[in-house]
């Protein structure tokens, strides 16, 4: 841009020029299918503007729902009917509406430790109380979940919802194993918990890499959030919801949707056209390579440059690696020292609903070129070694 720098005209900044930023899990703008989206928008406006620019049906544009249920059904061997799905404005506003409609202030919501810090903020905006459950390299620990549920119950509290990011988790990158998914669904059934499955990184992996979704294992109690933000582009603000028909209907047949109709009809029409042309799956094959290269670069660089005692997760997809510092080394001080060397990382404390330990970082590799990942992690290694 030739214009003068204006933060409100800029992206949610990855970092100032000259820095290497591992802060934000932004998709790489070079992967955005700009020309194809432009063509589809043009086509929709030429052919059916009076439909696409009008208030749309609350559940979303039917042909897009049909594409999604066929595609997701095929990938995961699921049979999905229209009443099980709706088009949304992405995972965040859907989680927001779920909280408004299906929870009450003061309700306990079980979350992973760590979990996505902005989801914690959203839950707290609804005056919900996030309660954390420990995780390890295989995801959230079922025995710990069971224990926390019993503890809440015996303390007179009732947990309402379980919010999980089971695939390539934000911030840890970890994927919940199939066995644990089964145990979690069994626990949710036993405790009458609603599961919210925030699954926006799944389709960035080849089909079959991620185990069956929690929705596939417990379709009667799971609301699964999907999004085009990582698959196409975040600025489109479009996603989908899969869930039990009665709850899906409760979510689209509410005041805000009755007032404003379906989410983003013009964009939904354009993405339907894009999908119907068969463009989505080849696009995904292509961008998978981009993020795989960055993930490999990140894991190789960590192996090469991290000092002894440092530990990190080894995700096989997604945008993030989670790093823990040796012994008493604090992440806040390290973040400050790395910043002086123009490397930006995000401290881990905000990702804990309770009792942060000051010992973690999140490293986002999605927005950084492989050679810059290498440079940045080398510098971070030097900072840690000097610490």
Give the nearer residue to a second copy in terms of CB position, either 54 or 246: 54
Task: Count other C-beta atoms under 10 Å from residue 269's C-beta.
Answer: 25
Residues 269-298 that bind a second copy (CB under 8 A): 269
HEC assignment per residue over 168-227 = CCCCCCCCCCHHHHHHHHHHHHHHCCEEEEECCCHHHCCCCCCCCCHHHHCCCCEEEEEE
Among 234, 356, 381, 387, binds a second copy (CB under 8 A): 234
Count of alpha carbons within 13 Å of 331, Cβ hemisphere only? 21
- 347 sits near a second copy (criterion: CB under 8 A): no
Peptide bond into 40 cis (omega under 30): no
Give the nearer residue to a second copy in terms of CB position, either 82 or 182: 82
C-beta separation of 346 from 362 below 8 A: yes
* Total chain residues near a second copy (CB under 8 A): 84
Minimum CB separation from a second copy for residue 77, in Å? 25
Minimum CB separation from a second copy for residue 170, in Å? 10
Minimum CB separation from a second copy for residue 246, in Å? 16
Q: Which stretch binds a second copy (CB under 8 A): 171-179, 180-188, 217-225, 257-265?
A: 257-265
Among 237, 249, 339, 378, binds a second copy (CB under 8 A): 237
Residue 344, H or E segment: strand 343-344
Task: Count other C-beta atoms under 10 Å from residue 329's C-beta.
Answer: 16
Distance CA 211, CA 192 (A): 23
Distance CA 93, CA 363 (A): 25
Give the nearer residue to a second copy in terms of CB position, either 312 or 351: 351
Residues 103-132 that bind a second copy (CB under 8 A): 104-105, 116, 118-127
Residue 276, H or E segment: helix 265-276
Minimum CB separation from a second copy for residue 5, in Å? 11
Give the nearer residue to a second copy in terms of CB position, either 38 or 178: 38
Minimum CB separation from a second copy for residue 323, in Å? 22
Residues 6+ apart with CB under 8 A from 342: 18, 19, 20, 379
**CA nearest to 376, candidates 330, 321, 326, 332:** 321
Minimum CB separation from a second copy for residue 158, in Å? 17
Indicate the DSSP class of residue 328.
Answer: T
Local structure of 80: helix, strand or coil: coil
Residues 58-87 that bind a second copy (CB under 8 A): 58-63, 65, 82
Among 151, 190, 258, 357, binds a second copy (CB under 8 A): 258
Residues 21-60 that bind a second copy (CB under 8 A): 24, 26-27, 29-30, 32, 34-35, 37-38, 41-42, 45-46, 48-60
Among 75, 76, 96, 281, binds a second copy (CB under 8 A): 96
Among 134, 261, 358, 381, binds a second copy (CB under 8 A): 261
């Amino acid at each position: 841009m030739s214009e003068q720098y204006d933060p409100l005209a800029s992206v949610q900044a990855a970092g100032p020029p000259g820095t290497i930023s591992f802060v934000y899990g932004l998709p790489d703008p070079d992967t955005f299918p700009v020309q194809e989206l432009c063509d589809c928008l043009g086509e929709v406006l030429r052919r059916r503007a009076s439909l696409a620019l009008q208030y749309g049906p609350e559940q979303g544009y039917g042909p897009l729902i049909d594409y999604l249920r066929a595609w997701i059904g095929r990938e995961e061997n699921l049979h999905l009917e229209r009443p099980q799905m709706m088009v949304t404005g992405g995972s965040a506003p859907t989680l927001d509406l779920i909280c408004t409609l299906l929870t009450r202030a003061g309700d306990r919501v079980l979350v992973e430790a760590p979990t996505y810090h902005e989801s914690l903020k959203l839950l707290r905006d609804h005056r919900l109380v996030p309660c954390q459950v420990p995780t390890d390299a295989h995801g959230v620990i079922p025995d710990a979940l069971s224990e926390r549920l019993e503890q809440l119950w015996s303390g007179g509290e009732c947990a309402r919802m379980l919010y999980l990011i089971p695939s390539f988790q934000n911030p840890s990158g970890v994927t919940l194993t199939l066995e644990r998914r089964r145990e979690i669904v069994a626990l949710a059934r036993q405790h009458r918990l609603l599961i919210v499955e925030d699954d926006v990184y799944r389709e960035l992996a080849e089909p079959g890499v991620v185990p069956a979704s929690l929705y596939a294992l417990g379709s009667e109690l799971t609301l699964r959030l999907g999004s085009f933000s990582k698959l196409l582009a975040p600025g489109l603000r479009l996603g989908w919801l899969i869930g039990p028909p009665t709850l899906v209907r409760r979510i689209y047949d509410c005041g805000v949707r009755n007032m404003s109709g379906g989410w983003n009809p013009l964009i939904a029409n354009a993405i339907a056209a894009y999908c119907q042309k068969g463009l989505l799956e080849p696009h995904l094959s292509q961008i998978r390579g981009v993020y795989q290269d960055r993930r490999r670069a990140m894991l190789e660089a960590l192996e090469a440059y991290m000092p002894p005692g440092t530990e990190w997760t080894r995700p096989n997809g997604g945008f993030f690696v989670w790093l823990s510092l040796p012994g008493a080394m604090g992440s806040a001080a390290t973040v400050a020292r790395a910043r002086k060397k123009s490397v930006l990382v995000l401290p881990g404390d905000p990702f804990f609903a309770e009792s942060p330990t000051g010992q973690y970082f999140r490293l986002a590799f999605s927005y950084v070129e492989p050679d810059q990942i290498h440079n940045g992690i080398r510098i971070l290694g030097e900072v840690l070694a000097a610490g």
